[in-house]
Structure 1
Amino acid sequence: MRYKNLFFDLDDTLWAFSTNAHDTFEEMYFKHGLDAYFDSFTHFYSLYQDRNAALWLEYGNGKITKEELNCQRFLHPLEAVGVGNSALAKQYSDDFFAVIPTKTKLMPHAKEVLDALAGRYNLYILSNGFRELQFQKMRSGGIHHYFKKVILSDDLGVMKPWPQIFNFALSATQSQLAESLMIGDSWEADMVGARGIGMHHAFYNVSGRSEFPFSPTYTLNDLKELIELL
């Protein structure tokens, strides 16, 4: 058996973050009456997503704190339509974070794949998500029991793709590099990071990406392909 240790990203690799987030945002949008300020939920969500992506890059590069990230990304859509109501943004944010980790949707075939692999490999989570959310997401999705250890950037203070978090994950799980595989949906965080330390990597191409700066060790269009690959 070539690999002994499988490191999984969580959001949009196993737990359906994009779907669960969209559902939660829409619930909070109507709960807090934001339809009074925006043309539609799509209008609000597009404003949020554009700014959120940029803020996560700044956070990953250490330019802003976690608190600044969460404050700015929820306030931005309101400010964009002339409603600089920081109290409303804070209330929306608090409710969003209370609800989203209770969502249960997983990526297609996630449990089937974990069931097939759990008895043959050491399974670990390696995620950039926040500690107060990730464990509850896993419990809500019914997948927490598959993993021997969960390594989070929030604990280490270093995010994927920086090599420190990958090296820490190997050390913390007593895993040999040559016997380890990273599986994730983020090219920039998971593939670039794993390749940076010489770890084999499987790109779960949920976005339908067609151009790659380098060839990943493996490409998955369906998570179920991992069973055959291994």
Structure 2
Amino acid sequence: MGTNSITDIFFDLDHTLWDFDRNSAMTFEKIFRIHNIGVDLPEFLEVYEPINLEYWKLYREDKIDKPSLRYGRLKNSFDKISMSVSDEVINLLSEDYINYLPENNFLFEGAFEILNYLKPKYSLHIITNGFHEVQHGKLDKSNIASYFKTVTTSEMVGVKKPNPLIFHHALELAGVKAKNSLMIGDNLEADVMGSLEVGLDAICFNIHGTELDSNVKQVSNLIELKSFL
């Protein structure tokens, strides 16, 4: 599909525009200090990051709910580094993590440049599986909310990417057809395959250089989107 028919671009937020891992690490550093958790931060993050991704996969597949995700990813991480932390403290950490996370707002390199490049040419939107209240905080505090005409979260729709319903809802909210739309996101299953399934074109933001099928459009830096758009 040629990009000359594209009028609307949908972005994922976490791991695509908003540098989740960097912001998350800074948040953990703060809440561990607040609660006097004597943990080696790099060691914790090394186990936490893959566990968190696994929990999000379960959440995406409706196998766990939001409280289970928030508690389980921390509990599992502490268990894996053989650190005993009470459920009460884990729940406090979980709450503080969500509250403090939007205070750190590093975006990926080139985020503002590419948004400024795209905004005069296309209508821009967000589709995210992240929690509604947290995602709006991230958009506001990182100063990118004004770039987007609509924001669709999985909690608004009741389903998560790659479920077709969230894409249909986002398209309806934006008032655009799938054939005139493009999705950009880091997750092959949720963002790329989910979009293609409902007729949106898609580009994978392949920040980690994962080996992808040759027919998947991909960039490793946001500025490379200019070659497609």
- TM-score after normalising by structure 2: 0.92
Cα deviation per residue 1:158-203 (whole Å; 9 max; x = unaligned)?
Answer: 1111111112211221111111000111112111111211211011
| Whole-angstrom distance in 1 between the partners of 2:193 and 2:144 | 26
| Whole-angstrom distance in 2 between the partners of 1:220 and 1:77 | 31
- 1:148 matched residue in structure 2: 149
Q: Which runs of 4+ in 1 moved over 4 A?
A: none
| Structure 1 gap segments, 5+ residues each | none
Paired AA for residue 114 in structure 2: V
| Whole-angstrom distance in 1 between the partners of 2:149 and 2:173 | 11
Q: 1:34 is paired with a residue of what secondary structure?
A: coil
Moved more, 135-144 or 17-26: 17-26
Cα deviation per residue 1:188-228 (whole Å; 9 max; x = unaligned)?
Answer: 2111111211211011110111x224622x21121112223
RMSD (Å) for aligned C-alpha atoms: 1.6
1:199 aligns with 2:189: no
8 Å CA contact 1:44, 1:77 repeated in 2? yes
- 2:221 matched residue in structure 1: 222
| Whole-angstrom distance in 2 between the partners of 1:77 and 1:11 | 21
In the TM superposition, what are the counterparts of 1:68-217 in structure 2 within 5 Å? 68-80=68-80, 81=82, 83-209=84-210, 211-213=211-213, 215-216=215-216
Cα deviation per residue 1:40-69 (whole Å; 9 max; x = unaligned)?
Answer: 222222332343222222211111111111
Cα deviation per residue 1:13-72 (whole Å; 9 max; x = unaligned)?
Answer: 11111111111112222332222xx4x222222332343222222211111111111121
8 Å CA contact 1:186, 1:203 repeated in 2? yes
Cα deviation per residue 1:113-146 (whole Å; 9 max; x = unaligned)?
Answer: 1111112111000111101110110111110001
- TM-score after normalising by structure 1: 0.91
Q: How many residues get paired? A: 225
1:59 aligns with 2:59: yes
Cα deviation per residue 1:50-109 (whole Å; 9 max; x = unaligned)?
Answer: 432222222111111111111212222334425250111111112111111111211111
| Whole-angstrom distance in 1 between the partners of 2:78 and 2:223 | 41
| Whole-angstrom distance in 2 between the partners of 1:177 and 1:54 | 30
8 Å CA contact 1:78, 1:85 repeated in 2? no
| Identity in percent | 33
1:23 aligns with 2:26: yes
| Whole-angstrom distance in 1 between the partners of 2:179 and 2:199 | 8
Paired AA for residue 189 in structure 1: A
| Whole-angstrom distance in 1 between the partners of 2:53 and 2:106 | 22
- 2:5 matched residue in structure 1: 2
| Whole-angstrom distance in 2 between the partners of 1:60 and 1:86 | 24
CA, structure 1 residues 25+229, in 2 after alignment: closer, same or farther (shift >3 Å)? same
